[in-house]
Structure 1
């Protein structure tokens, strides 16, 4: 086994389980306790302990064992799960996360926080009282005393054949792996009533040879239950691979009992127990006979029953079917996905080169073959990109805990509403969105949402609302963080900007320009510094991080009503459908999802910056002027209408070349400050084309529209000589 890979898998699985555990705890706090959520928490802790036990990570095993014991009592209704316990369990999850981080850093032998651990264990043991560990009980107590910690068994007179029979044999190493067989027996009480339970001690060695960490016992029991087979079988989901479990339903065929006796190590003892609980004398006689109707034989002879008897027992248990389903999902290293995307990108470029050669040769069969290959390459591209698409819920799921903790720290009532968590975007962007969103959420809770008393005085609900929303729009993903707080005070922001020299005192700014000042480095209007904000760091980092993803962030706010921070990002950073245009002898690529339509633009007047399109003003930019290229001597110009968000603008170009699959290549440091270009791509002929930064160009066009121009007509429009739009 590759221990490094196994360690990494354990860390990843533990983090996922801790996230699920936290979500279930927060769900209980919001909606009240229910058995499904409690079981989810127990399963998470139990699985983490078992996985850590496999690799002898004893710090996790010993601590999680105490947590699991508390959860087991909660699960069995012996302890109520209230607010203080929820906080304790959340803190326990945080500490387990520290232990998992230590494993990831290869420092698991060092206690990460001894004081915190001692405090948590003291609180947990306070809930449990004095509970000896399983290993300690095995060392100090005789074997017969094990029945004292088994679940209560209802005594019944006579033989009842209206119950389930369970035959359980656990792996000798089950205790070393952090699994407690007794907890599974106790949990059976949630799905029925145990009416007969026999502990098989035949495998227990002499006391001098007994290993306190090894399990020697077997169990035969009868269970009265109205639950179905899957419900009873699910009790053993987390120990199934380390146990032999036979589950026989009421009135099971005699062949199944005969097969059970053929498989167990102690058939005589099991036959005796069956006679006491599940079978009548006649039924036992049939079970002990190799074939029905043959005289009674001893239990030892049952071992000679051929394999046909075993075939009578169903081979596919519900748990096995479940595992088969789970195996349809595999985990792949991100580096392998990146390598696949890179290869697909090279394939796209090679396909474009083949298409170019085919068009030059004028060979119809060759062109048809290349077209078929291009279509397949497009499907491969889409499939490869979909592998990297993940729900943004991966980021959103961490905020319920953040909102809970910060609202308690601030003494505010804040409700979090999450929508659009299933909206997908590239995994690389999901990972880089976490920090910007954290800054925005913390600012909204600290500065945006008022204290409870202030909200009541303003006529608002006592509890503030923080909303996280995500949706697709115009080939982009939009993420919004909204609050119903006090909103932004433009006069206060402007005064602070003047004080810091960011704006001249006489300068007049539009509302959206004032809001953008918040993203300036070191800008803050907070009157006092808190643990959360007020130091003037954070929002400038937000803008830089979003712009590094070729995105845009804007603020919408109404004073006294609330604020919305809107982030707009491309769906992927790897391969896009592009639209090629030419200006002079240079080729540019526009993301196809942002292209609305193309219009012929006749005339030589290149000074006007607004065109009238269907009665509406449309600002536009001439790429020739923007990139300082030679003027067009003759020919017709075209106007490409693009849209980003709710804003539209036009880009004037010389020629339209058509659609194109563009593999995005990053620009070097030399071009990092050029706002009109977002990247580059390689064309089929090997030349380099620049990818236009449409959001920035639309913004430039809108700003240019707002500035008075002497060349504009009285109505504010420039009318081209001809337009078929």
Structure 2
């Protein structure tokens, strides 16, 4: 796929996300004129981009929908649920189209949308929303400054399109110039100043530049959007707002230039007629608008009439006037000042490659530190410390490039809640908090599916229908709150609803029925609620398109485990359910605590570590896997890793206990010794070790040795299972080492 299409897809996806967000706001508040403008701008930019690439089917369909919202903007018709639903269908179809633009839009869906558009266009005018007519409604000076609903004032812009010496094989200037014409009436003057003599002219190369004087109500951002799909946006060498006097000077300069060229060939110049059909018309200028617009940023350029002069000005005078009209300092390529460029697009693949290189640098830095500790050379120590500091800063900066606000993911779920609650005939509102919380892009990409399943479960099983809620004394509209926050080196995501909650007794009875639990051994309610994550478990009475197959929550747990995350449920019947998810900030490089078991090294993620304590090893049942130690008067359940991995030999007399926390659980991991803190580059273990429990990856240390990274969440789960079973003896299981 060409670069043009890739850029179009990226831009269009962002515009469709903005379109969906604006439509959701309009559905809640149909009279929100700002929301209408957001929809209109998104559709207009999509239409312009599609036209630049010759995607006529997309351009025509978008133009029809844009025309409809133009009538909403001018208050000829009201924004109703039917129009919003129709716009959502357009958005969904275009999203599907972007997966493979070469196939084009599906004709059946396009035809149906066009038929529905015609029905909406025939809708009666909303009388209450008509603007009040005024005797001087066309006079810009009579409009109040704070009247946001007033007609958009037209402005004048000058831009120079100069694709110098580029081949026509990859260039069609008419694409860009026709886009300018769609923004409003404009004059296009071709400049022959760079045209060489005929004997040296190369027909396949563009040697012409164009000056465009554009009259439009669009803002600068909308005009600049047209530049995006040029092969080189730098071809637009000038772009500025002008007033009527500057426009007249530009036209005189162009006429003088053409006159001089034709005079050299002894050909007469016919004056342009005074009544051209494409004259630019604007309201009469006022005193406040007589100054050049460059001195009044954002002020409307009021023009009575811009016409070609009946006779060209003398070349010398025209040249002088043209030079005065030129800005003192030409802006950089693309017409955008350098200081205004706040961000650039970077391929995700390039970011991933950069993180890999930083990971290798961290490993090399660890090797350098190992060599320095062995040689004890002061100069080497100084260099090692400086490189350690720089590599640490580079690591933080590089990882921050991959961090994205989670709000972009949250916004997608507003549409899910809207559609699904409507399908189930429920009234549900989604509230979000902490949208600015940042996560690694890889984590965000893999987080979408688990959140979808949780939200669908909350909508279907959690929040009751409006009738039931009223009978229980609750508001008819249910609420689901989606929150994110950073805590202890992790991101906590909380999904809370005010529905009917989960009955632990019902869950336990269903688990016994399905053979997932024993009837004579009922665990605590907290553990019973975790049973909903078991494969095939469901409390639904019948299978529907939404739920009942026992797949969703199982997918949630497995997906979060693959992200090294945790999930916990807290629910009270009649009061609602809260699901807490813990996720690492990144999956690439972490800070770890290096420990040993025998001759082997292991890494515990530092974000999970609370403290380290020393314990005298007891002689009672030395092969036990699970033990409990008294730590400052509190009985702490511990997992003896030496026995867990069947190392066979006896550990040291003084054991080191690393106290960790997974969710709300605080447990201890018993190791032989603690080496210290280590920057860890996470490497996958491969398919051979997929069944290995208690490990999440591996890393290479400075001395070249391999260290395995412990999965604290799965180790805590193993310890909990042994507590429930009531045994800590060393039994062979599916783990191996």
* TM class by smaller structure: 0.7 to 0.9
Q: 1:68 maps to what in 2? A: 66
- Pairing partner for 2:156 from 166, 171, 191: 166
What is the CA-CA distance between 1:537 and the residue it aligns to?
2.0
Point out the more displaced range, 628-637 or 375-384: 628-637
**SS of structure 2 residue aligned to 1:53:** helix
- Pairing partner for 1:121 from 93, 100, 114: 114
Q: How does 1:234-383 map to 2 (within 5 A)?
A: 236-238=223-225, 247-249=241-243, 258=249, 261-263=252-254, 299-301=312-314, 304-306=317-319, 309-314=322-327, 324=338, 327-383=341-397
Contact 2:139 2:283 in 1 (8 A): no
**SS of structure 2 residue aligned to 1:509:** coil
Q: Quick one: distance in 1 between partners of 2:728 and 2:647?
A: 23
Q: Quick one: distance in 1 between partners of 2:508 and 2:691?
A: 27
- Pairing partner for 1:420 from 431, 434, 438: 434
Q: Quick one: distance in 1 between partners of 2:324 and 2:638?
A: 78
Q: 1:520 maps to what in 2? A: 534
Q: 1:227 maps to what in 2? A: none
What is the CA-CA distance between 1:76 and the residue it aligns to?
2.4
Q: 1:84 maps to what in 2? A: 82
Q: How does 1:432-471 map to 2 (within 5 A)?
A: 432-471=446-485
In structure 2, relative to structure 1, the CA distance for the partners of 1:323 and 1:52 (3 Å cut) is farther
Which deviations, in whole Å up to 9, do the C-alpha atoms of 1:181-240 show, x marking residues without a partner?
A: 46646xxxxxxxxxxxxx97999xxxxxxxxxxxx99989799xxxxxxx9656745457
- Pairing partner for 1:645 from 657, 663, 673: 663
Contact 1:246 1:260 in 2 (8 A): no
Contact 2:537 2:551 in 1 (8 A): yes
Which deviations, in whole Å up to 9, do the C-alpha atoms of 1:142-194 show, x marking residues without a partner?
A: xxxxxxxxxx96799xxxxxx99737799997788884846646xxxxxxxxx
Which deviations, in whole Å up to 9, do the C-alpha atoms of 1:355-391 show, x marking residues without a partner?
A: 1111111112112211111111111111121111111
In structure 2, relative to structure 1, the CA distance for the partners of 1:590 and 1:86 (3 Å cut) is same
What is the CA-CA distance between 1:12 and the residue it aligns to?
1.6
Q: 2:696 maps to what in 1? A: 678
Q: 1:107 maps to what in 2? A: 103
Contact 2:158 2:211 in 1 (8 A): no
What is the CA-CA distance between 1:127 and the residue it aligns to?
3.7
Contact 1:432 1:545 in 2 (8 A): yes
- Pairing partner for 2:673 from 655, 666, 672: 655
Point out the more displaced range, 674-683 or 512-521: 512-521
TM-score (norm 2): 0.76
Q: Quick one: distance in 2 between partners of 1:11 and 1:696?
A: 40
Contact 1:423 1:471 in 2 (8 A): yes
Q: Quick one: distance in 2 between partners of 1:641 and 1:705?
A: 17
Residue ranges of structure 2 left out of the alignment (5+ in a row): 124-136, 142-152, 162-171, 191-209, 231-235, 260-270, 291-308, 730-737
Q: 2:51 maps to what in 1? A: 53
Q: How does 1:476-555 map to 2 (within 5 A)?
A: 476-555=490-569
What is the CA-CA distance between 1:323 and the residue it aligns to?
7.0
What is the CA-CA distance between 1:706 and the residue it aligns to?
6.2
Point out the more displaced range, 632-641 or 504-513: 632-641
In structure 2, relative to structure 1, the CA distance for the partners of 1:408 and 1:69 (3 Å cut) is same
In structure 2, relative to structure 1, the CA distance for the partners of 1:330 and 1:276 (3 Å cut) is closer
In structure 2, relative to structure 1, the CA distance for the partners of 1:88 and 1:303 (3 Å cut) is farther
What is the CA-CA distance between 1:322 and the residue it aligns to?
5.9
In structure 2, relative to structure 1, the CA distance for the partners of 1:651 and 1:278 (3 Å cut) is closer
In structure 2, relative to structure 1, the CA distance for the partners of 1:464 and 1:308 (3 Å cut) is same
What is the CA-CA distance between 1:598 and the residue it aligns to?
1.8
In structure 2, relative to structure 1, the CA distance for the partners of 1:604 and 1:44 (3 Å cut) is same
What is the CA-CA distance between 1:621 and the residue it aligns to?
2.1
Alignment coverage as a number of residue pairs = 630
- Pairing partner for 1:619 from 615, 630, 637: 637
In structure 2, relative to structure 1, the CA distance for the partners of 1:634 and 1:65 (3 Å cut) is closer
What is the CA-CA distance between 1:299 and the residue it aligns to?
3.7
Q: 1:24 maps to what in 2? A: 22
In structure 2, relative to structure 1, the CA distance for the partners of 1:625 and 1:381 (3 Å cut) is same
Q: 2:297 maps to what in 1? A: none
Which deviations, in whole Å up to 9, do the C-alpha atoms of 1:78-111 show, x marking residues without a partner?
A: 22212221112122222222332331xx322xx4
Which deviations, in whole Å up to 9, do the C-alpha atoms of 1:383-418 show, x marking residues without a partner?
A: 121111111122211111111111111111101001
Contact 2:188 2:213 in 1 (8 A): no
What is the CA-CA distance between 1:64 and the residue it aligns to?
0.9
Q: Quick one: distance in 2 between partners of 1:535 and 1:630?
A: 45
In structure 2, relative to structure 1, the CA distance for the partners of 1:307 and 1:651 (3 Å cut) is farther
In structure 2, relative to structure 1, the CA distance for the partners of 1:425 and 1:154 (3 Å cut) is closer
Point out the more displaced range, 608-617 or 563-572: 608-617
Q: 2:627 maps to what in 1? A: 609
What is the CA-CA distance between 1:257 and the residue it aligns to?
5.3
Which deviations, in whole Å up to 9, do the C-alpha atoms of 1:273-318 show, x marking residues without a partner?
A: 99996699xx9xxxxxxxxxxxx99643157533675345446799
**SS of structure 2 residue aligned to 1:556:** strand
Q: Quick one: distance in 2 between partners of 1:480 and 1:464?
A: 17
**SS of structure 2 residue aligned to 1:305:** helix
Residue ranges of structure 1 left out of the alignment (5+ in a row): 131-151, 157-162, 186-198, 204-215, 224-230, 284-295, 712-725
What is the CA-CA distance between 1:6 and the residue it aligns to?
1.9
Q: 1:560 maps to what in 2? A: 574
What is the CA-CA distance between 1:263 and the residue it aligns to?
4.4
Contact 1:471 1:478 in 2 (8 A): yes
What is the CA-CA distance between 1:611 and the residue it aligns to?
2.7
In structure 2, relative to structure 1, the CA distance for the partners of 1:307 and 1:343 (3 Å cut) is farther
**SS of structure 2 residue aligned to 1:101:** coil
In structure 2, relative to structure 1, the CA distance for the partners of 1:164 and 1:441 (3 Å cut) is closer
In structure 2, relative to structure 1, the CA distance for the partners of 1:408 and 1:276 (3 Å cut) is closer
Which deviations, in whole Å up to 9, do the C-alpha atoms of 1:33-67 show, x marking residues without a partner?
A: 33332222112111111112122122211111111
Q: 1:42 maps to what in 2? A: 40
In structure 2, relative to structure 1, the CA distance for the partners of 1:659 and 1:68 (3 Å cut) is same
Q: 2:5 maps to what in 1? A: 7
**SS of structure 2 residue aligned to 1:652:** strand
In structure 2, relative to structure 1, the CA distance for the partners of 1:494 and 1:234 (3 Å cut) is closer
